[in-house]
Chain A
Amino acid sequence: MPMASPATRPTPAPGPEVRTGPSGERPGGSGPELDVEAVRAHFPILHQEVNGNPLVYLDNAATSQKPLAVIEALEGFYRRDNANVHRGLHELSRRSTERYEGARGHVASWLGVEDPGEVIWTRGATEAINLVARSWGDSHLSEGDEILLTELEHHSNLVPWQMLAARTGARLRYLELDDQGELILDELPRILEGGRVRIAAISQVSNALGTLNPVAEIARQVKAHGGLVLVDGAQGAAHAPVRIPELGVDFYAFSGHKMCGPTGIGVLWARRELLEAMEPYQGGGDMIDEVHRDHSTWAQLPYKFEAGTPNISGAVGLAEAVRYLNAVGAERILAHEQRLVRRTMEALEAMPGIRLFGPSDPARRAGVVSFTMKGTHPHDIATILDSEGVAIRAGHHCAQLVMKRYGVAATARASFYLYNSDADVDRLVESLATVQEIFG
């Protein structure tokens, strides 16, 4: 395999300037509030009928839809530039490498970090968290050490740590939830006082309740006691503004598909000195410097953690998604989601038998509303809504600890994104009336 040595690899270029909408204007309009109709025009999938009704897509916490800019970036890559990266000495390989590394640089600058070598491509948040649990965890933890988690975590940010604890003898500690779906920070000093918490793994935004967690504050306290902090940004990167230096954390994991990008691509960001001290997660092509009969040496960052042919088009698509979201503006998107949450909560509070989960103040959450309806199971709610073209999720949302905390097996969950409108909320509410009529 003719492989360029790490030293001759192109230095990841800083990302191109934020591109504006298709016709040059800012996507989502130039006003302080999002122009939803303008945004919706960028998402072809939304313009279809499902079960005889216009689609209302409210399952964004599971995965988001893709704007034309992303769909066209993927298509354009495969039509013009596709080749393997870092290998061939031909034109297409050069272009492909440039786009792949350009994407890395673009994501780095969007995260607010200077060193693109700290941006590792992964399959998603799950793989990024597993990478840290393996590569950092296995060599840094032993019996007596503690891993701090929260009751709010997605299984992706629980199970890898449980597996690590089983391998190393480390102990799991938990920050608990109050009745409002907020982490009880008052317990943190007591947990940290023992001086044994080596790493805290916490989500920035809860996928089950929508809670915006005070990650910067938690990170400050954990770090003051000598621990590291990993943030699960699977929802955070999609729904909240992200500037890594302001969060003050050590590892940040997220998935492209939740934020208008393709599936199968995500990112682990980590501080260079941590990554330098970690062993590779997987072995293979592209992650080595020299290979001998009995040993090999590792490539420089970030390639040390990217064994095998990567998801090149995924990286290109994710960078395009970042460009698009950035042009719309994370603050505007969050404010828009919070408006939709408020509208939904007000309507649901007026319906009999509805129980809402999570913070009662919409300003304390991103675009998620989890609820149950007395006498009707969430799956039946989802089936009836689907028959009217309204897509929501029902179940435990990969957050069984949250379900246990509130004494339910499942909830129904409507989750919003930039392209959802007031009309979508109204359709949700109307369809819930159908549910109540059927189940009486």
Chain B
Amino acid sequence: MTDRATPPMKALYQQLILDHYKNPRNRGELEPDENTVEIHVRNPTCGDEIRLQLRVEDDRIEDIKFLGDGCSISQAAVSMMSTILKGKELDEAFGVARRFTGMMHGDEGAAKDPALGNLRSLAGVSKFPVRVKCALLGFEALQEAMKKSRGGRPG
């Protein structure tokens, strides 16, 4: 990042975010079987979209993949989310989703929670209300996917 960018832009577009945007982790498709669920979400106002697949065995996320098209915030957030959630129990994953949503709505305690890992680099998005929806898109897909894998039971 160079000196042209203003401090708010530096806080928003951190290297970690740009890295996940340019080199998304867990991007791709799972071979569907009886343990995989798939959810497709779109933000109709901006057209960003994410197709998220989970393989859930014994209430644990065994594998996670996504395909998506959208801004750096939505795509980096889903990429980071995928690295953190692989291997997590569904209950833990619901907890991460709640913490991340809290952070997006300005909860400073959540922004310090180690459970969020790299996702904490997105804390600056909370200062850009129009971009909060971008950051939450992947988690929206996650929550729908987890409900679906539990046969409709919410977290």
Contacts and interface: CB of A to CB of B under 8 A. Distances in A.
Contacts of A410: 46-47
B13 A380 contact: yes
A71 interface: no
Interface stretch (A146-154, A265-273, A307-315, A381-389): A381-389
A180 B23 CA distance: 33
B6 A387 contact: yes
Interface stretch (A90-98, A213-221, A243-251, A430-438): A430-438
Contacts of B12: 383
A409 B70 contact: yes
Nearest to A437: B2
A377 B68 CA distance: 12
Nearest to B12: A383
Place the interface of chain A in its size category. 20 to 34
Given A375-B22, A377-B72, A439-B18, A383 B46 contact: no
B47 A396 contact: yes
B9 A379 contact: no
A409 B47 contact: yes
Nearest to A400: B47
Interface in B1-50: 1-2, 4-6, 8-9, 12-13, 18, 22, 45-49
Interface in B64-82: 69-73, 75
B71 A438 contact: no
B134 interface: yes
Contact of A438 (B9, B45, B128, B131): B9
Interface in A416-440: 433-434, 437-440
A406 to B, nearest CB: 14
B4 A433 contact: yes
A384 B71 contact: no
A248 B45 CA distance: 36
Interface string A383-415: 110011000001110001001000001100000
A208 to B, nearest CB: 13
A387 B8 contact: yes
Contacts of A409: 47-49, 69-70
A18 to B, nearest CB: 40
Contacts of A388: 6
A378 B48 CA distance: 11
A51 B127 CA distance: 13
A395 B45 CA distance: 8
A440 B1 CA distance: 8
Interface string A142-171: 000000000000000000000000000000
B35 to A, nearest CB: 31
A338 B73 CA distance: 34
Nearest to B70: A377
Nearest to A433: B4
Contacts of B47: 395-396, 400, 403, 409-410
Contact of A380 (B2, B4, B8, B71): B71
Contacts of A440: 18
Contacts of B75: 377
Interface centre among A384, A388, A403 (most CB of B within 10 A): A384
Given A395-B45, A409-B47, A434-B4, A383 B22 contact: no
A380 B5 contact: no
A3 to B, nearest CB: 43
Nearest to B3: A437
A140 to B, nearest CB: 32
Contact of A384 (B9, B18, B45, B69): B9
A437 B71 contact: no
B4 A437 contact: yes
Contacts of A377: 70-72, 75
A207 B100 CA distance: 37
Nearest to B5: A438
A388 B9 CA distance: 10
Given A395-B47, A396-B47, A379 B6 contact: no
A405 to B, nearest CB: 15
Contact of A379 (B1, B2, B4, B131): B131
Contacts of A379: 46, 48, 70-71, 73, 131, 134
A396 B43 CA distance: 12
Interface centre among B47, B72, B75, B134 (most CB of A within 10 A): B47
Interface centre among B8, B9, B69, B128 (most CB of A within 10 A): B9
B109 to A, nearest CB: 26
B131 A383 contact: yes
Contacts of A395: 45-47
Contacts of A437: 1-2, 4-5
A379 B8 CA distance: 16
Contacts of B70: 377, 379, 409
Interface centre among A375, A396, A409, A438 (most CB of B within 10 A): A438
Contacts of B1: 437-438
Given A376-B72, A387-B6, 11 more contacts: A375-B22, A378-B71, A379-B73, A379-B131, A384-B5, A387-B9, A388-B6, A433-B4, A438-B2, A438-B13, A439-B13
15 contacts: A51-B8, A377-B71, A378-B71, A379-B71, A379-B73, A383-B12, A384-B5, A384-B9, A395-B46, A409-B48, A409-B70, A434-B4, A437-B5, A438-B2, A438-B13
